[in-house]
Chain A
Amino acid sequence: MIPLALQPFTPNLIDDARQILGYDFMQNAVLAGTFTALAAGLVGYYVVLRNEVFTSDALGHVAFTGGLGALLAGLQLLLGVFASTIAVAVGMGTLGGRARGRDVAIGTIFAWVLGVGVLFLSLYTSTRSGSGGGTAGVSILFGSILGLQQAQAAITAAAAVITTLGLFAIARPLLFISVDPDVAAARGVPTALVTVLFLILLGATVAEAVQAVGALLIFGLMVTPAAIAQRLTTRPFMGLLLSGALAIAFVWAGLALAFYVAYPASFFITALAFGTYLATMIFGRVAALRGALA
């Protein structure tokens, strides 16, 4: 169903929204994007708080290889992405403190994981006809939110809703563990269980975010909104909600921009997030400077 002519952007935002949502692919993108952004913003808040930024980077690499591996085996891409990220997230978490601070070993392993992904990509594009000259790889790396099928969008949105609910269920003990693990353990919080649950949620969120912004750009949705929120408020649940709201705002604005300007949505989402982060940082510096002068 394609409306006859694409109207240009007008100052009447309600008309614009109606126009944007008149397309199936935009409906799918908004559906998947909104819930993914919510989950990513919320989980990302804990990722930044727990200083696990580079775990999510590594999981993005795993998603690339897992997704292409599934395609190669004739399975659903989503299945491979979810299975691989959740398995590796839990694996990394249970190896626990042993893996921390060993960036050489981790870097070597994940460079190899990506290398395997490249092999899969090459095998996939050379063995399957009609795979579009290797665009499958690009869409995993940089996202394909405007190309989602209705079923994919529905699955992604449902997974994101489950992730969000799961996070709310463990939000309070997880916060306690993240801020002061020793005291939390002494107070009887089941530290190991909550940590594993969080890692499962993290793996699932990365898998969802890969759909929206791509394996390489998940930072833009998982880390940047949370980093902005933590600069703006020190109150934890306020920050958590702000992070989720910012992520949704970036996705909506990014989708709208991509609708009118024919460049990748993931670029706009990432650029908006980064610009806001930069503005918050500069604003914070200026405010601090004024405070020092006054």
Chain B
Amino acid sequence: MAQQGLSWDLLADLQLLLQFHFMQNALLVGTLVAILAGAIGYFVVLRGQSFATHMLSQVGFPGAAAGVLVHTSPVLGLIVFCVAGALGIGWTGRSVDAGRRGESAAVGSILAFSLALGLLFFRLYAGSAQGIYGFLFGTILGITDSDVLLTAATTVVGLAVIAVIGRPLLFASVDPDAAEARGVRVRAISIAFLILVALSVAETVQVIGTLLIFALLVTPAAAAQRLTARPGLGLALTIALSVLFMWSGLAIAYFSLYPVGFFVTSLAFATYLAIRLFRAASRDHHRPAMETAT
């Protein structure tokens, strides 16, 4: 590929970035994914469901492989497996978290099995190592036009549902008992939200992979919630950070030819670290005598 290097002329850089169809698709899907991931991620962190998110992404891995195996879109396989996983979590009715002994052993066993199943599907397909890496760590290559359409459709649906249930969801997340007393159907909303998480995870996996989705679904929200307690502002900031990580990650990956997953996770980690250090420093400044317990 006749690729020119990066220059100070940002417009020319942008033209370079957009000259290939695969990159247009990657940027389009990346943007859609980041918007939905940011919106969902805000509530994921608020509700303390980052672990369920981690779990859904690994359950999605064999889905992607199965999609490849039966020659349909891997995104479709991801969506089916992730939604099934979400319904499974919702059906057990308990909140999945890493804190309880019996549960974390059960969850760990399911995760290992589902990753192994994904490996088996890839071997059955006789796929190359690169195929596996793409779904584990993301890729900017090979996003087809139909993937773009599917992603656009799920993003629109996801955002529409968030717009409808956003207010009761916020209420139910912050104070479930009071919400229940006021007539909010907390259980129905939490299952609906899990399905949204599943959709968002399924989309996100195709760009940054099963193992790295934390960087888009959890870290931006965690960073935003350290900066502001106001829900509207926090939500907007989360989406902005998520889109920013995605765009910069894709752009750097394109110019450097190294994997997009590395750049997105590094940006997310650096931002999160900077915000924590900044908050800790400013707290020290205001209350020098107190210990910075978090």
Are B108's CB and A112's CB within 8 A? Answer: no
Are A217's CB and B112's CB within 8 A? Answer: yes
B104 sits at the interface (CB 8 A): yes
Nearest CB in chain A to that of B216: its residue? A111
Known: A111-B213, A227-B106. 13 other contacts (CB 8 A): A54-B104, A111-B214, A115-B137, A122-B259, A141-B136, A224-B105, A263-B124, A264-B119, A264-B120, A264-B123, A266-B116, A266-B119, A273-B113
Number of interface residues of A (CB under 8 A): 52
B101 partner residues in chain A, CB cutoff 8 A: 48-49, 51
Are A118's CB and B262's CB within 8 A? Answer: yes
Are A220's CB and B105's CB within 8 A? Answer: no
Can you list 12 pairs linking A and B with CB atoms under 8 Å apart? A51-B100, A53-B107, A103-B50, A109-B269, A111-B219, A111-B269, A114-B212, A137-B133, A141-B132, A217-B116, A219-B112, A223-B109
Are B268's CB and A220's CB within 8 A? Answer: no
Known contacts A54-B104, A103-B51, A107-B54; is-contact A119 B132 (Cβ 8 Å): no
A25 sits at the interface (CB 8 A): no
A48 partner residues in chain B, CB cutoff 8 A: 101, 105
B227 sits at the interface (CB 8 A): no
Known contacts A51-B104, A133-B128, A224-B108; is-contact A108 B119 (Cβ 8 Å): no
B163 sits at the interface (CB 8 A): no
B111 sits at the interface (CB 8 A): yes
Are A112's CB and B268's CB within 8 A? Answer: yes
Q: Which of B97, B123, B259 contacts A118 (CB 8 A)?
A: B259
B50 partner residues in chain A, CB cutoff 8 A: 103-104, 107
A110 partner residues in chain B, CB cutoff 8 A: 214
B28 partner residues in chain A, CB cutoff 8 A: none
Are B98's CB and A53's CB within 8 A? Answer: yes
Within 8 A of A (CB), among B256-281: 258-259, 261-266, 268-269, 272
**Complex Cα gap A110–B98 (Å):** 15
Nearest CB in chain A to that of B109: its residue? A224
A263 partner residues in chain B, CB cutoff 8 A: 120, 123-124
Known contacts A53-B98, A108-B219; is-contact A274 B112 (Cβ 8 Å): yes
Within 8 A of B (CB), among A124-171: 133-135, 137-138, 141-142
**Interface of A (DSSP majority class):** helix
B211 partner residues in chain A, CB cutoff 8 A: 61, 111, 114, 216
Are B265's CB and A112's CB within 8 A? Answer: yes
A138 partner residues in chain B, CB cutoff 8 A: 129, 132-133
How would residues 86 to 107 of chain A score, 1 for a CB under 8 Å from any chain B CB and 0 otherwise? 0000000000000001011101
**Complex Cα gap A266–B112 (Å):** 10
B119 partner residues in chain A, CB cutoff 8 A: 142, 264, 266-267
Are B136's CB and A115's CB within 8 A? Answer: no
Interface residues of A (CB under 8 A from B): 48-49, 51, 53-54, 57, 61, 101, 103-105, 107-112, 114-116, 118-119, 121-123, 133-135, 137-138, 141-142, 216-220, 223-224, 226-227, 230, 263-264, 266-267, 270-271, 273-274, 277, 281
Are B259's CB and A119's CB within 8 A? Answer: yes
Nearest CB in chain A to that of B45: its residue? A104
Most buried by B among A123, A135, A217, A267: A267
How would residues 184 to 210 of chain B score, 1 for a CB under 8 Å from any chain A CB and 0 otherwise? 000000000000000000000000000
Are A216's CB and B108's CB within 8 A? Answer: no
How would residues 124 to 144 of chain B score, 1 for a CB under 8 Å from any chain A CB and 0 otherwise? 100011101100110000000
Write the nearest CB–CB distance from A220 to chain B, whole angstroms: 4
Write the nearest CB–CB distance from B37 to chain A, whole angstroms: 13
Known contacts A115-B212, A133-B128, A220-B116; is-contact A54 B109 (Cβ 8 Å): no
Are B120's CB and A121's CB within 8 A? Answer: no
Are A115's CB and B215's CB within 8 A? Answer: yes
Are B266's CB and A218's CB within 8 A? Answer: no
B100 partner residues in chain A, CB cutoff 8 A: 51
Within 8 A of A (CB), among B160-201: none
Are B98's CB and A54's CB within 8 A? Answer: yes
